[in-house]
Structure 1
């Protein structure tokens, strides 16, 4: 027996709504539109936007948040029966979508149009704004694809201009320099090689330099048995300061790179190691130390190593995203880069913090773009306000930093969250970068996994896809260049593009 989802019409039921139902739908949509406009005013006030005519991207973002606070599923099914838009692809055009549907309903049911139908230009204005914002941040796209490819340059490219030129020729649009590694001299050489490659190939190549932020890592470590791997129920002593000295009683000891994080821990807080490959919980606290018990770890266990990332998803750290080292590194960023990557952003005030630092160094205006890395739960909750604060100051985008984000919010929530972040960015005409572990197996081994190919295809809905460094990164650029071009012919954000099928 065929089972239908709740409220789905069966074959014996009508498949087109009668006139009175269409009139009722029209009334409900008019009421929804009124609610969206009123609620958006309060949202804009929360953003600190007092202008009665706010910038269109920020106004549309407020409209999108207002309408998405409502459960629209029943309304969507009623619209489907009438053969109308089910509102499922309205991110960049909330009011134009509502107006178009209201106009269509009122024209069919006869009371006269309560709202004019939007023009084609007005309906697609949000897409145009996003395209312009993407070009402003990342430069001109390749002729055969919309999405950009960003590659993290290894330190060796400071002395290997041919390798950088090859990456650009294969499809690299943005060269990423990670300021957590190497030094200003190496960064200048890497940037110069990227500039020379752009000239040699005739492509527009932008340089993004990622300032490190307060990265929490293991500093020094010690293991009583150097051959032993950490396993479930093992204990780790995490020290705020001092030397890591292990013993039979304390088989694994690590010193945190930032002493204050140990003081911020509470019993029961989770501590994740190496991008979530190990999860421990705080069992006890002593003077300047936390005792952690491992409760989840990858099969076979892990060795305790220095310079591995730590995530503390339950702990309010209160760390400034801009460190003294970052402020010093900004001199080289301003000199060499087109875009500054800003780590550990949590609130709208963090945008002001960076802008003040740039202003002190004379980097005002729109010559330097800004990408805020979304890697903490606070950044997710504050993202709309963060976008509103950044709007209009300089070209702006966000990076969905899926490694840290997965460790912070949980791996099972990452898939839905990366979708929601794409929707918010589209509503606000903000370019998004899909980052972390894209084609990771291919980059390391030369052979992609099936799952990561699907992930890379999904990534094509973002404005830019980031590849990390690795021995086969050039091969990965080649593949991603072709894949993004093919996906551009099949889908735009959430909208399938119905090209003619050739396989049947």
Structure 2
């Protein structure tokens, strides 16, 4: 071996030795925090500190040197970092023909890391399926309170973990959902974990004055009054979720829906007493599409008669027309603290502005924290503006990004302040009240918008008061950049509990860190949690197009494959949720097989 090669090996060995020494020093520095974690997490807490130390000290040049020598550059070593560092040092000594120094005793070996991670996932998220390791978590829709079979159908399709969101419905509906889940467990002879989300201090738009409960079908006509595009609507079964906000949906009894025939007409009188017809043009699974060639107003209770199947039925509950503010680039919007219904902008006959559009904000605290000149983002980035003035009770906002023809801002849409230093965190009064129910009926609490260790300590204190600290699991939902920056301290604080997990909530997180950074942030969170052997949940818009519209996009299929890096994948609600669960189950099984056998799909490649 040349002297230059020998010298490079010696430098690499020295660098690895320095990293190992720093890991040991930092473990001693954090010993106070490590001693506070649950006994089952002590070794994992040490490994977490070791990994962060390694991450902060490893150089790119050392990684490249190790990779060039076939040592993989310590890639994917986060779950057993000290064992990997020592093995790397041993191999370097062997390649340099040096005497190998005695190993330092490590608490987390390669096998132990895998064993701890599997145990933690099982305790928090429940048993895995027979053919895959990654769990599937499914959000329960409101209809699950009235549909006694839905939970069992979800389990049969592949659901391992149930999610109920306390931001929606009431204790009455939650209890019914849980009863149906437990009945489904008995039916399926399968145990699933029940998780419940605390609403948390989410900042959203307030109410807008509701419109009438009516569906209006309007055909498009040419200059001669001839119909060039009929009014379109979809008939769905009563109790079904509306798949999207883009189409008109008319709920009817499920028995009537099943018996309707393609091509037949539905006759009725609209709200004005005018006789109207709708023609069935397409039957698409659970949805029947109809066309109308005259303007028609349909309300709850409207009686319809079919021309061929000879049945008469009443239209179910039609929700009120959802009002909105239409905002364009350059518009001004007032966001106010007072909880009065929002209104769109008002103009006189000449188009002069009489009153700016205005809407309330659900969190009064933000008015104390935000400043003029800071950005404000609505509805996951669909509308962006900046704060022109903060009067204390109102924010005057100028819109800088929206669609050319305007973007609709509706009630209960998220508001983000990506550069503002907000002091909103911890448990709300509603969260504390909901905890009394959750600790009695659920296995796991999902804590929303956790930002600091004080938030975690507050939750642990509340659990202690309720006598639930020893048996309930806690998932930290990482939704802000503050939480990302505090992730190590958040984990060490939460690891006082035996069952702990992290949900990577990519919706708000993407707005906070920027679209260009969300992939990197997500990857970093996965690695840090893996180093602490903490189970992770991959959430937000997974298979969303399939769940809501029945057809998956190519991008979301790829996302589902990549989601296998996590321990659990969360699906949200939708009309086609069973199909989404089934497809995700198949994707995960096939991908796990292919991970170990690259010839799973193509047995032989031509060459």
TM superposition score normalised by structure 2? 0.75
- 1:235 maps to 2:332: yes
Deviation at 1:328, TM superposition (A): 0.9
Distance 1:299 1:452, change over 3 A: farther
Aligned to 2:118: 131
Aligned to 1:3: none
- 1:92 maps to 2:85: no
Q: How does 1:18-417 map to 2 (within 5 A)?
A: 18-19=5-6, 21-42=8-29, 47=33, 55-116=42-103, 122-221=109-208, 229-243=326-340, 244=342, 246-247=345-346, 248-298=353-403, 300-365=405-470, 367-417=471-521
- Find the aligned partners of 1:202 and 1:333 in 2 and give their Cα distance: 24
The answer (yes or no) to whether the contact 1:347–1:386 under 8 Å persists in 2 is yes
Deviation at 1:87, TM superposition (A): 0.6
Using the TM superposition, name which of 440-449 and 141-150 deviates more.
440-449
- Find the aligned partners of 2:159 and 2:421 in 1 and give their Cα distance: 38
Corresponding residue SS for 2:207: strand
Deviation at 1:44, TM superposition (A): 5.2
Using the TM superposition, name which of 310-319 and 170-179 deviates more.
310-319
Distance 1:250 1:81, change over 3 A: same
Aligned to 2:523: 419
- Find the aligned partners of 1:117 and 1:242 in 2 and give their Cα distance: 62
Distance 1:270 1:250, change over 3 A: farther
Corresponding residue SS for 1:253: strand
- Find the aligned partners of 1:474 and 1:446 in 2 and give their Cα distance: 10
Aligned to 1:462: 566
Q: Which has the greater radius of gyration?
A: 2
The answer (yes or no) to whether the contact 1:256–1:262 under 8 Å persists in 2 is no
- Find the aligned partners of 1:32 and 1:50 in 2 and give their Cα distance: 25
Gaps of at least 5 residues in structure 1 are 1-13, 492-496
- 1:429 maps to 2:416: no
Corresponding residue SS for 1:213: coil
Corresponding residue SS for 1:321: coil
Q: Deviations over 1:59-115 (max 9, x none)?
A: 011011001112422112211222223111111011100111111222333331114
Using the TM superposition, name which of 110-119 and 147-156 deviates more.
110-119
Corresponding residue SS for 1:69: helix
Deviation at 1:299, TM superposition (A): 5.8
Distance 1:499 1:125, change over 3 A: farther
- 1:486 maps to 2:473: no
The answer (yes or no) to whether the contact 2:166–2:196 under 8 Å persists in 1 is yes
- Find the aligned partners of 1:27 and 1:394 in 2 and give their Cα distance: 38
Using the TM superposition, name which of 481-490 and 143-152 deviates more.
481-490
Distance 1:198 1:50, change over 3 A: closer
The answer (yes or no) to whether the contact 1:188–1:332 under 8 Å persists in 2 is no
More strand by share: 2
- 1:445 maps to 2:549: yes
Distance 1:61 1:339, change over 3 A: same
- Find the aligned partners of 1:50 and 1:42 in 2 and give their Cα distance: 14
- Find the aligned partners of 1:415 and 1:323 in 2 and give their Cα distance: 30
Distance 1:427 1:299, change over 3 A: farther
Corresponding residue SS for 1:181: coil
- Find the aligned partners of 2:430 and 2:183 in 1 and give their Cα distance: 28
Aligned to 2:261: none
Corresponding residue SS for 1:229: strand
Deviation at 1:436, TM superposition (A): 0.3
Q: Give the CA RMSD over aligned residues.
A: 2.5
Corresponding residue SS for 2:329: coil
Distance 1:467 1:37, change over 3 A: same
- Find the aligned partners of 2:82 and 2:126 in 1 and give their Cα distance: 30
Q: Deviations over 1:310-357 (max 9, x none)?
A: 112222221232011111111211121110110110011211101111
TM superposition score normalised by structure 1? 0.89
Deviation at 1:227, TM superposition (A): 8.1
The answer (yes or no) to whether the contact 1:19–1:108 under 8 Å persists in 2 is no
Deviation at 1:300, TM superposition (A): 4.2
- Find the aligned partners of 1:254 and 1:109 in 2 and give their Cα distance: 70
- Find the aligned partners of 1:284 and 1:362 in 2 and give their Cα distance: 47
Paired residues, number: 479
Using the TM superposition, name which of 346-355 and 290-299 deviates more.
290-299
- Find the aligned partners of 1:421 and 1:221 in 2 and give their Cα distance: 37
- Find the aligned partners of 2:21 and 2:106 in 1 and give their Cα distance: 21
Corresponding residue SS for 2:29: helix
- Find the aligned partners of 2:333 and 2:31 in 1 and give their Cα distance: 47
- Find the aligned partners of 1:107 and 1:228 in 2 and give their Cα distance: 70
Deviation at 1:378, TM superposition (A): 1.0
Corresponding residue SS for 1:329: helix
The answer (yes or no) to whether the contact 2:82–2:106 under 8 Å persists in 1 is no
Deviation at 1:298, TM superposition (A): 4.6
- Find the aligned partners of 1:234 and 1:480 in 2 and give their Cα distance: 42
Distance 1:118 1:108, change over 3 A: farther
Gaps of at least 5 residues in structure 2 are 211-322, 347-352
- Find the aligned partners of 2:366 and 2:390 in 1 and give their Cα distance: 13
